[in-house]
Amino acid sequence: MTIRAYQPDDFPIVEQWAKARNMVLIPQLLSKNGFLVEDEEGPLAVAWCYLTFDCPLAYVDHLFTRPRTSLKKGLAAWRLIWRTIQAYLLNLRDCNGNALSYKIVRVFTCPELSRFLKSDGWKVSAKTVQQAIYAIP
């Protein structure tokens, strides 16, 4: 598996993955900090890292895998995405070269990944959430 930056040209395939899960991706809401994992069959998984600027919180969102991806392969892709995001966050600097010190990362995810995250030291909420989006006219 390899990882690279998400490119806008990747949107059609990632949008298909979202639609297969009855979800909607809005291209204008995707962070510039997107990461795409590929395997021998092509694109396998994607996620975006969003940064907040008024507190040291980053969050990972829109984590999708190619439909019918095995849990084992999906977890391997997640590990690669997570290592990349950790390195990315550790290397962020302000205009003066000082580390930005993002210390908290949040992700909304499916039960299968949340069980793995819990075993990997993440704090996992027992409640399920649903996404609601409102576009201000």
CB 61 within 8 A of CB 47: yes
Rounded distance between C-alpha atoms, residue 114 and residue 136, angstroms = 32
For tokens 């996620």, the residue is: 47
The CATH homologous superfamily of the domain defined by 2-108 = Gcn5-related N-acetyltransferase (GNAT) (3.40.630.30)
Query: According to the model, what pLDDT value does residue 99 have?
Result: 83
Query: According to the model, what pLDDT value does residue 44 have?
Result: 97
Query: According to the model, what pLDDT value does residue 135 have?
Result: 66
Which H or E element spans position 11? Answer: helix 11-20
Both structure tokens of 89: 């966050």
Both structure tokens of 24: 């909607």
Q: What is the mean pLDDT of each run of 10 residues along the chain (137 residues)?
A: 96 96 90 96 96 87 92 92 91 87 80 78 77 70
Query: According to the model, what pLDDT value does residue 49 have?
Result: 95
Domain ranges of the chain: 2-108
